[in-house]
Amino acid sequence: MKKLILTLAILMSFVQEASAIDLDTVWSKALFPQKCYFATFSPDTNKIIAAMGSTIYYLDAHTGDIIDSFQKAAGPIATNEISISFNKKRISAICDNGTYIWDTTTKDIIKIFSNQDTNFVVGINALSPDGTYFVCRTWVKNKHPNQNNPYDTARILVYDLDADTVVKWINLDYDGLPEYIAYSPDGNSFVIRFKLYSSPNSYWYNLTKYTTNGWQIDTVLEDRQDSYYSYISFSSDGRYMAGTKIDTGCSNYVWDLFADTLFRTYPRTKLGGYAYDIINFSSNNQYLLFGSGDPFLDSKPHNQIWDFINDTSVFSFGSYSKSAYSYSNITGYILVANEFAIYLFNPNWQPSSVFEPTEKSDDIKIAQKNKTLIVKSKDFDLRKIEIYDVMGSLVLSKTADSEEIAVSMQGMQSGIYFVKVQTAKQVFVRKVLVVE
């Protein structure tokens, strides 16, 4: 299996130093001549949902092979016009003849907002976390025959997919065009980026948060003329919103939506001189995944994974072009889709040599039952059990004076951990996987 060794030697000299990391390429799939517009793990992580051409597929997460397909749309799926509910129950995509909604369990199309609808045409959209509500920009068709414009005005539509009915029309009281919608994973709000016009040739940008309790404006997060957010994503708890802002610094930002304040800024100088147009939270909220950075590294767009909690770079690489990321909270695997290929990586996190897993030993047995770790020593008394996360931080420590000990891991997030076992005569390290 080919390894991509990602060390400081292959990085630009100004990239922040981080622990040495290896990425094992579990598999890669070339898709040419098809393009992959979207890819993410299924809820159980055994499958990958991928949109290519006019079809959404299920891929085997272990091999990358196509194992099933969804009901086919009538036309190609538009690039960057795909939304998926946080529970991954439903997917929406804008196609040539309308906007489609799929159910990921049945793989059937459950709703089509046709471009030939007599009342409105659906544009940019987002799905609520449970897949029930569909929030979108709509062009309401012209009610004034004397006007040449086939559409009258843009409005926001809230649609209940389960009841198949309109819940709310949000009229826009200003000459503004919604250009981006993102739904928070807690279901309490959604954010819209507006392009507002003061005249045909003069405009500015507005970032507005709406509450789903009454579907009303909650907060105007930002109102500026010199910049706009081109990409928005959320932490899984809905507290933080990450965005890519096109301005003179081409920076990335994170908002604290609970406090409605700007939480952290990532200018080029902080990110090693790079500007990124994609930013995502990992599903455990520990990492930010920056993609498609400029300037290029080794003639290819630069990518970087950042420890959001400790606010430091974990590793950087420049091997993959404009990318969509997905992170498995269960396995720690990283999925990268870059239009003509899909890659699955297994990060071998090695914060320091003390956490290098030792060779298997018949003297030490480690077993997991539910979220309890059972450690047994064949010939030696146990002295101490320590559990570290992938960044090398001590999560749990327990002393012992026996040949067997049970350690509860309740409350620990899913992911990879290092178990350091100290006996009367040796130290043993094992890498374990904790699953919610």
Q: Delimit the domains of the chain by residue range.
A: 3-349, 358-434
Domain 358-434 has CATH 2.60.40.3080: yes
Helices (H), 110-169: none
What pLDDT band is residue 56 in, cutting at 50, 70 and 90?
Answer: very high
Q: How far apart are CA 365 and CA 385, in angstroms?
A: 13
**Cα–Cα distances in Å, from 120 out to 151, 177, 217, 318?**
8, 15, 23, 43
What pLDDT band is residue 174 in, cutting at 50, 70 and 90?
Answer: low
pLDDT average, residue stretch 422-431: 78
Q: How far apart are CA 338 and CA 321, in angstroms?
A: 6
What's the pLDDT tens digit per position in 221-250? 888 777 777 788 888 888 898 988 776 666
Are the C-beta atoms of residues 177 and 194 closer than 8 Å to each other? yes
Range scoring the smallest mean pLDDT among 36-50, 115-129, 412-426: 412-426
**Cα–Cα distances in Å, from 373 out to 14, 195, 408, 419?**
42, 54, 6, 10
**Cα–Cα distances in Å, from 94 out to 113, 311, 320, 341?**
9, 36, 26, 22
Are the C-beta atoms of residues 322 and 290 closer than 8 Å to each other? no
Mean pLDDT rounded to a whole number for the chain: 78
pLDDT attached to residue 91: 95
Q: How far apart are CA 52 and CA 70, in angstroms?
A: 11
pLDDT attached to residue 351: 45
Q: How far apart are CA 158 and CA 165, in angstroms?
A: 9
- Our CA dihedral for 221, 80, 71, 46, rounded to 10 degrees, sits at -80
| Nearest in space to 415 (alpha carbons), one of 330, 334, 340 | 330
Q: Determine phi and psi for 51, rounding to 5 degrees.
A: -105, 120
pLDDT attached to residue 196: 80
- Classified as helix, coil or strand, 25 is strand
Instruction: Give me the half-sphere count of Cα atoms (radius 13 Å) on the Cβ side of residue 425.
Output: 8
pLDDT average, residue stretch 7-31: 48
pLDDT attached to residue 105: 92
| Nearest in space to 414 (alpha carbons), one of 44, 19, 129, 87 | 44
Q: Is the pLDDT of residue 55 over 50?
A: yes
Strands 415-423 and 278-281: unpaired
What's the pLDDT tens digit per position in 247-285? 666 688 898 988 888 899 898 888 888 888 888 887 778
Tell me how far the alpha carbon of residue 120 is from its chain's centroid: 31
pLDDT attached to residue 145: 46
The domain defined by 3-349 folds into Methylamine Dehydrogenase; Chain H (2.130.10)
Q: How many CB atoms lie within 10 A of CB 261?
A: 10
| Single-letter amino acid code for the residue at 319 | S
pLDDT attached to residue 390: 62
pLDDT average, residue stretch 87-110: 93
pLDDT average, residue stretch 183-199: 85
pLDDT attached to residue 59: 94
What pLDDT band is residue 129 in, cutting at 50, 70 and 90?
Answer: very high
